[in-house]
Amino acid sequence: MSSDKKRVQFRAPHRLVDRADALATVLGSDRTEVLVTALREYLRDATHDDDLKQEIAAAYYDDEITFEQLTELVGREEAANFRVLKRQLDDEYINEIAEL
């Protein structure tokens, strides 16, 4: 296994795993391949969803995720927008504006 891969362990319903295995057989690949593809596609779709993007931004505003994690999820450009908005929420910044 190459070093940029991480081993994870999780529990999933039997039926779901059986279906993944069946699809792997059809495609001539393996369970890992099917699960990784499914996860990749889910993450891509989810981060194009505006509501979910706002959830992600909210987690960043509340310091639940870092800027690096934010960038991983929504991309550099969108992350830059959220970083500017986070600064707009900063009390000190609002005070600075009020004092001008």
Q: Given the complex with another protein, which of 37 and 69 has the nearer CB atom? A: 69
Asked if 47 and 33 count as a contact pair (C-beta separation under 8 A), the reply is no
In the complex, least distance from residue 68 CB atom to another protein, rounded to whole angstroms = 16
Cα separation of 6 and 11, whole Å? 17
CB 57 within 8 A of CB 75: no
Q: Between residues 41 and 45, which has the closer beta carbon with respect to another protein?
A: 45
Residue 88 Cβ vs another protein, minimum distance, rounded to whole Å:
4
**Least separation in angstroms between CB 42 and another protein:** 21
Q: Which residues bind another protein (CB under 8 A)?
A: 50-51, 54-55, 57-58, 61, 77, 79-86, 88-89, 93-98, 100
Structure-block tokens of residue 74: 């929504």
Between 4 and 77, CB nearer to another protein: 77
Residues 6+ apart with CB under 8 A from 68: none
Quick one: 37 or 83, whose CB is closer to another protein?
A: 83
Does residue 93 contact residue 87 with C-beta atoms inside 8 Å?
yes
